[in-house]
Amino acid sequence: MTNRPMRVLLQASITPLACATLLGGCSGAMAQDGESKIAPVVQVPLASNPRVSNLDNPTTPADLPQTASVLEVERYRPNYDLKGCAAPITEIVEPDTAMATALKAAKAYSDEQKGLGLIVLQDGMRVHESFADGVNKTTPSASASMMKSVIALLYGIAIEDGVIGSVDDRIGDYLTEWDGDARGDITLRQMMTMSAGLGQSNFMEILLAPDIGKAALAIEKVGEPNTEFAYNNAITKLLTLALDRQLVAKGRGSLLTYLETELWCPLGNGPARVWIDQQGQARGYAGLHAGLADYARIGELIRNNGKVGDKQIVPASWIAEMTKPSKVNAQYGLQVWLGREHTPRRSYSAANPIKVPHAEPFVTPDIVFFDGFGGQRVYIIPSKGLTIARFGEVNLAYDDSVIPNLLAETVD
């Protein structure tokens, strides 16, 4: 399916309001009471898709110098535009004295570490928002690996929808290229926990190949699953490819339309841009360029066990599944990081020399967080009612323990 000349444009399985505000009108069956019905998808040639841009002008290595700003999202091409259904984030309220002092210290630390934006919500109320000059809550940034956690949320929705059978299904059930060899017996759970027993991929191919799915499918099995934690972008790309193919097979549109209609728009998130390859496929492991308020809403979704207001967007049971420590790494769940164990320098894998500073243990072991390279973060602390979204220029000295601990210590 990765070489299909046709890609899905939209699926009319959304409410009339969403049709009007999200897609500019939809065709297909719609219930009288406004509830959605599955309708046939509309397909157009990829090159003619109005959501797609720069298909013939893909990113090259020269576009990505180490000095590039995370705000320079135009460097990442081709693109798929998410229209969004922007809803206002909560009004800012005055924090108590202790929290105000902690917020001042948290902002100072973020700024010292090349921070560009910080949003903090306490019990669903916005108690802090600050940005660098020229930046605001809707400014898109290159959030790097934070998209991995979004892919995990989509899997929870897809399992509830019957698109995917179970997190313990074989990956070979969804990737036919692997169905006949040992890689096909690896489970979706083992893939999501980065304990699949697969070798490291070619970094530049997984980053910039014209068909990244094809490049990821070439990864070899080097060990037994559930024996070693090895963080790998190719693994999340394969999860993304598997879900996309299954959505298409079920007549539910592509992963990109599913992201928009089933998660992004119900959250009230605004316009965003997804970095795709020349096959029109999302990378999945990175490339969801959105505003900080959008990521704060995603964090709130997890804090509220998958609910937005009174609507269950992601099953609560899936949020619990995502945030359980995996067998081989208590610091990692299903495509999210956890604060259950402390190591002063968190590791991505034995083969990766980059270590993330954690000078102190997290004061709240229930913390869950998204990790985007170099300091892009969403921290969720359910026991303290806190959601913290932060982004900044890439900085390998950024310490994960400072901001969440400063704020959590002020809440009884």
How does pLDDT run along the chain (412 residues), one tens digit per residue? 333 233 332 222 223 223 222 222 222 222 333 333 333 445 567 888 999 999 999 999 999 999 999 999 999 999 999 998 988 777 899 999 999 999 999 999 999 999 999 999 999 999 999 999 999 999 999 999 999 999 999 999 999 999 999 999 999 999 999 998 999 999 999 999 999 999 999 999 999 999 999 999 999 999 999 999 999 999 999 999 999 999 999 999 999 999 999 999 999 999 999 999 999 999 999 999 999 999 999 999 999 999 999 999 999 999 999 999 999 999 999 999 999 899 999 999 988 999 999 999 999 999 999 999 999 999 999 999 999 999 999 999 999 999 999 999 999 9
Which among 246, 240, 256, 266 has a CA at the least distance from the CA of 10?
Answer: 256
Q: CATH number of 45-58+73-89+137-330: 3.20.20.80, 3.30.70.870, 3.40.710.10, 1.10.10.10?
A: 3.40.710.10
Separation of alpha carbons 300 and 169, rounded Å:
29
* Per-residue burial over 158-180, b = 16 or more CB atoms within 10 Å of its CB, e = otherwise: bbbeebbeebeebbbbbbebbee
Residue 16 pLDDT: 27
Residue 1 pLDDT: 35
257: left (phi over 0), alpha (psi -120 to 50) or beta: alpha
Helix (H) or strand (E) holding 298: helix 292-303
Residue 261 pLDDT: 97
47: Cβ contacts below 8 Å, ≥ 6 apart: 55
Residue 86 pLDDT: 80
Residue extents of the structural domains in the chain: 45-58+73-89+137-330, 95-135+339-412
Residue 43 pLDDT: 56
331: left (phi over 0), alpha (psi -120 to 50) or beta: alpha
Residue 386 pLDDT: 98
Residue 45 pLDDT: 77
222: Cβ contacts below 8 Å, ≥ 6 apart: 197, 198, 199
Which among 4, 36, 28 has a CA at the least distance from the CA of 262?
Answer: 36
